């Protein structure tokens, strides 16, 4: 949890805004440090967290969270965290074996064209459980990252459907929060996007930006865009990732410059 | 007085116990005992050498076990193939097991071309024998003989002696002694040998890729590289070398079309490969002919599914070859991605201006500094000068000619 980011966003683990959909995105940069922030943030806020870790192993997230002062293993044991390790689940689908009967969450790998229904079912069931296991706050869904779904052959439209369903289930019905990370490829190709191809991360990013209530975009510079009912407000900060956190500052005020 | 003494003594005792526990924690890890590996200074990951010492340095000490190194091939695939061979040769010297897959030629061809290791530390005589050198000539002849014999030591001993070191040097002009090579256990995969058995038509993966993934998983399970299965015998590392993935010979059409049919085949395979490696004691080097892939966005997602990514840009066949500025180097090396393993911040190299040269006994990567007009310039400023200097060099040459 980066305290500086919290103060920028006016957020603290004690006072959560229900029903928020936060989009993290990047281009020619790496926004994955933000997902670690939100993971530790919501665990501190005593929310029940469902984490779809599609790109890295559990040990990676666990080691980073340890540095940020949160133990994922303990959270898992206490029933606060549901961790779906995409890499582990994918193997049984990618290399079919007679004996294996893994969870259905990664079923879309068998036929990516069919969409992400199985993954959504997993999210809904684990988010709806939160009422039963006592003591935890509203459910939170974290996804790292949506871009890998595109690489695995899922259509951008299907990913957009998935995010929309998740938002309806978690944000609207259960009054929880959703945080999704999307890592975009390459340059901003304006001309190509105008052709109207329903492919690629640029198209998906525009669709998701339309859905979300708060979008954090990491580029060579870092941008925060908050959308209220009436007006859009955009703030730009510069950042530096350290060993155990990140610091943010207004443009041109880094200690390296001053 | 007793109370203050107690209060002073207590923290000391606590500190002591704290110290001893933290010390134990380090020695407890059993992985370090594998030859040819060392723990990373930054995040405690287990590292293996790529066989190219300067590349190890660039990647933060070496390749972390469980990760993939992507090498974007140079145009003629000469230097990328060389690095792959270095990687495999290092595995042979450290007695790791190998898994080699290639479609272009037989994996055995790559194995036969492995460079010969320079095991200089083996030739050094033991300290006990050194005093004899100063005695009469007959004795020194004897020691010479012993030293000579040391060079032809049986393979087991040479491997043992050398395994204490991390990273070796190789003589590219010679191929590795078959005896040493056969000492390492090697698994081969060639797509044409696999019989096509179509299991799932919906899956985006190609048959050649899924067959390879399956064969790799079998090796990992059978030979005990799986981390999930507790093993009684000593652990070893599996080095996976996959040559020219994405080329047409794998049945892939990434390189042939602007809008390939099997667009997601390679990325899905790399996802599966990452899943396999993360749960086992293995490490992979993958080369991809990226100059043939038109779609940069696709190349971006391929890079993202690997952990380390470097690209080689050889001067061979380019106009830079003739440019006097680059005469010291064979090509440029770009570091596209370094992994963030178990930490937030990644360790990017200090400099981006890197060039490589292949000498007989060493593949070196260094900061590409070019001496021009009494200044050292880095590579990024050079393109502006390139045409200019090329002309000047010509002029200089003609002046020199005129003087003669």
Q: What is the CATH number of the domain that holds A120?
A: 3.40.50.300
Q: Least CA distance to B296: which residue of chain A?
A: A186
A101 within domain boundaries = yes
Task: Collect all residues with Cβ–Cβ distance below 8 Å to A10 and sequence separation of at least 6.
Answer: none
Cβ pair A63:B202 closer than 8 A: no
Nearest by CB: B344 against A33, A57, A147: A33
| CB–CB contact B342 A59 (8 Å) | yes
Domain boundaries, chain B: 39-119+168-367
Contact B203 A88 (CB under 8 A): no
Using only C-alpha atoms, what is the Rg of chain A? 18
> Cβ–Cβ of B214/A95 closer than 8 Å?
yes
Residue A242 sits at the chain B interface (C-beta within 8 Å): yes
Mean pLDDT, 10 residues at a time, over chain A (258 residues)?
85 87 84 90 92 93 91 92 90 73 75 87 84 76 91 90 92 91 71 53 83 75 44 70 81 71
- A122: closest CA of chain B, how far (Å): 20
- Judged by a CB distance cut-off of 8 A, whether residue B357 touches chain A is no
Record: contact B344-A36, CB cut-off 8 A: yes
Alpha carbons A124 and A131: distance in angstroms, whole number:
12
**Opening angle at CA A134, ends A128 and A135, nearest 5:** 110
Q: Hey, are the CB atoms on A64 and B276 less than 8 Å from each other?
A: no
- CB contact under 8 Å between B268 and A109, yes or no, is yes
Cβ-based contacts of B345 with chain A (< 8 Å):
33, 241-243
Half-sphere exposure of A58 (CA within 13 A, CB side): 15
- Here the tokens at position B317 are 């066949």
pLDDT of residue A219: 67
Q: Which two tokens stand for residue B180?
A: 């040493």
User: Which chain A residues contact residue B199 at CB under 8 A?
Assistant: 96
Q: Would you call B355 helix, strand, or coil by DSSP?
A: strand
Contact A90 B200 (CB under 8 A): no
pLDDT at B386 (0 to 100): 56
Task: Name chain B contacts of A94, Cβ cutoff 8 Å.
Answer: 203, 205, 210, 213, 268, 271-272, 275
Contact status of B279 with chain A (Cβ, < 8 Å): yes
Instruction: Read off the tokens for A91.
Output: 């193997």
Shortest alpha-carbon distance between residue A60 and chain B (Å): 5
Q: In sequence order, what are the beta bridge partners of B287?
A: B71
Cross-chain residue pair B203–A113, CB shorter than 8 Å: no
In B, residues 3-32, which contact A (CB 8 Å cutoff)? none
Whether the link from the prior residue into A20 is cis, omega within 30° of 0, is no
Is there a contact between A238 and A250 (Cβ–Cβ < 8 Å)? yes
Q: In angstroms, what separates the C-alpha of A4 from chain B's closest C-alpha?
A: 16
Q: Report the pLDDT value the prediction gives residue B244, as an integer from 0 to 100.
A: 92
Nearest to B352, CA basis, from B370, B336, B331: B336
**Of all helices (H) and strands (E), which one includes residue B123?**
helix B120-123
Q: Which two tokens stand for residue B13?
A: 């005792």
- A contact test, residue of B213, B300, B339 with most A CBs within 10 A: B300
Quote the minimal CA–CA distance from A152 to chain B in Å: 5
Kindly list the residues from chain B whose CB atom is less than 8 angstroms away from the CB atom of residue A113: 202
Contact (CB<8Å) B204/A87: no
Neighbours of B236 (CB within 10 A): 21
CB burial readout B188-212, b (16+ within 10 A) else e: bbbbeeeeeeeeeeebbbbbbbbbb
Instruction: Provide the pLDDT for residue B153.
Output: 46
Contacts 24+ apart (CB under 8 A), B351-357: B351/B378, B352/B380, B353/B378, B353/B379, B353/B380, B354/B58, B354/B379, B355/B326, B355/B328, B355/B329, B355/B330, B355/B331, B355/B379, B356/B79, B356/B312, B356/B329, B356/B330, B356/B331, B356/B332, B357/B328, B357/B329, B357/B330
Closest A-chain CA to B302? A151
Helix axes B207-222, B265-278, angle to 10 degrees: 10
Mean pLDDT, 10 residues at a time, chain B of 404 residues: 37 41 46 74 84 88 92 92 94 91 90 86 43 44 50 42 67 88 89 62 77 92 83 82 91 83 90 93 94 86 91 86 79 87 75 84 82 63 55 50 47
- Whether A100 is covered by a domain: the verdict is yes
State which residues form the domain around A139.
9-222
Q: Read off the DSSP letter of residue A169.
A: I
Interface probe, candidates B31, B278, B344, B348, chain A, greatest A C-beta count within 10 A: B344
Domain B39-119+168-367 has CATH 3.30.465.10: no
A242 within a domain of the structure (yes/no):
no
Using CB atoms, which residue from A67, A112, A200 is nearest to B204? Answer: A112
B282 touches A: beta carbon within 8 Å: no
What does the alpha-carbon distance between residue A149 and residue A156 come to, in Å, rounded to a whole number? 9
Within a 10 A sphere around the Cβ of A62, how many other Cβ atoms? Answer: 17
Q: Are the Cβ atoms of A241 and B276 closer than 8 angstroms?
A: no
A32 touches chain B (CB under 8 A): yes
- Closest CA in chain A for residue B279: A88
* DSSP tag of B289: -
- The DSSP bridge partners found for residue B170 are B117
Residue A52 lies in a domain: yes
Cβ-Cβ contacts under 8 Å between A and B: the total is 110
The predicted complex's ipTM stands at: 0.89
CB B169 within 8 A of CB B53: yes
Which among A148, A187, A201 has CB closest to B271?
Answer: A148
C-alpha span between B278 and B269 (Å, rounded): 14
Which residues in chain A are closer than 8 Å to B278, comparing Cβ atoms? 57, 87
* Gyration radius of chain B's alpha carbons: 26
Q: How many domains does chain A have?
A: 1
Of B271, B297, B346, the CB nearest to A185: B297
Q: How far apart are CA A186 and CA A28, in angstroms?
A: 6
Alpha-carbon distances of A109 from A116, A148, A162, A218, rounded to whole Å: 9, 12, 15, 29
Which of B268, B275, B342 faces A64 most closely, judged by CB atoms? B342
């Amino acid at each position: 949890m980066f305290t500086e980011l919290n103060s920028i966003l006016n957020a603290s683990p004690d006072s959560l805004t229900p029903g928020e959909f936060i989009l993290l995105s990047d281009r020619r940069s790496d926004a994955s440090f933000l997902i670690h922030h939100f993971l530790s943030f919501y665990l501190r806020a005593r929310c029940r967290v469902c984490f779809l870790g599609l790109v890295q192993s559990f040990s990676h997230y666990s080691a980073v969270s340890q540095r940020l002062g949160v133990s994922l293993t303990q959270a898992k044991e206490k029933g606060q965290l549901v961790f779906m390790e995409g890499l582990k689940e994918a193997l049984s689908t990618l290399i079919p074996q007679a004996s294996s009967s893994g969870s259905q969450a990664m079923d879309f790998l068998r036929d990516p064209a069919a969409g992400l229904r199985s993954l959504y079912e997993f999210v809904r069931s684990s988010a709806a459980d939160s009422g039963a296991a006592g003591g935890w706050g509203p459910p939170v869904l974290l996804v790292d990252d949506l871009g890998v779904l595109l690489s695995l052959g899922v259509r951008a439209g299907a990913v957009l459907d998935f995010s929309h369903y998740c938002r309806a289930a978690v944000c609207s019905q259960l009054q929880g929060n959703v945080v999704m990370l999307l890592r975009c490829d390459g340059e901003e190709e304006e001309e190509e996007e105008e052709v109207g191809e329903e492919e690629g991360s640029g198209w998906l990013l525009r669709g998701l930006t339309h859905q979300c209530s708060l979008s954090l975009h990491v580029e060579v510079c870092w941008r925060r865009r908050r959308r209220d009912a009436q007006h859009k407000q955009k703030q730009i900060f510069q950042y530096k990732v350290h060993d155990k956190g990140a610091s943010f500052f207004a443009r041109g005020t880094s200690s390296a410059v001053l | 007085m007793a109370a203050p003494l107690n209060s002073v003594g207590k923290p000391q005792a606590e500190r002591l116990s704290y110290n001893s526990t933290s010390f134990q924690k380090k020695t407890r890890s059993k992985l370090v005992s594998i030859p040819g590996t060392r723990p990373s200074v930054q995040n405690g990951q287990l590292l293996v050498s790529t066989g190219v010492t300067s590349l190890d340095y660039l990647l933060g000490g070496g390749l972390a076990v469980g990760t993939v190194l992507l090498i974007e091939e140079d145009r003629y695939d000469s230097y990328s193939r060389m690095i792959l061979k270095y990687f495999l040769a290092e595995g042979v010297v450290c007695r790791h097991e190998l898994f080699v897959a290639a479609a272009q030629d037989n994996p055995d061809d790559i194995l036969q071309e492995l460079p010969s290791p320079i095991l200089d530390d083996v030739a050094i005589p033991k300290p006990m024998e050194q005093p004899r050198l100063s005695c009469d000539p007959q004795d020194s002849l004897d020691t010479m003989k012993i030293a000579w014999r040391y060079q032809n030591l049986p393979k087991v001993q040479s491997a043992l002696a050398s395994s204490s070191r991390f990273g070796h040097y190789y003589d590219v002009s010679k191929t590795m002694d078959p005896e040493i090579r056969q000492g390492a256990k090697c698994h081969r995969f060639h797509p044409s040998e696999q019989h096509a058995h179509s299991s799932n038509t919906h899956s985006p993966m190609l048959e050649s890729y899924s067959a390879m993934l399956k064969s790799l998983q079998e090796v990992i399970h059978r030979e005990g590289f799986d981390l999930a299965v507790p093993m009684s015998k000593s652990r070893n590392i599996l080095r996976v070398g996959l040559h020219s993935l994405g080329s047409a010979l794998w049945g892939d059409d990434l390189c042939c079309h602007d809008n390939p049919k099997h667009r997601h085949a390679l990325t899905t395979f790399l996802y599966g490969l990452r899943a396999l490696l993360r749960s086992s004691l293995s490490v992979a080097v993958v080369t991809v002919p990226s100059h043939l892939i038109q779609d940069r966005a696709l190349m971006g997602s391929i890079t993202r599914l690997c952990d380390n990514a470097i690209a080689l840009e050889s001067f061979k066949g380019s106009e830079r070859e003739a440019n006097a500025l680059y005469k010291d180097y064979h090509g440029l090396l770009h570091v596209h991605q370094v992994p963030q393993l178990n930490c937030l911040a990644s360790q990017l190299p200090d400099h981006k201006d890197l060039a490589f040269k292949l000498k007989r006994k060493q593949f070196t990567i260094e900061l590409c500094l070019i001496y021009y007009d009494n200044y050292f310039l880095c590579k990024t400023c050079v393109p502006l000068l390139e045409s200019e200097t090329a002309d000047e060099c010509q002029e200089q040459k003609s002046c020199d000619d005129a003087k003669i």
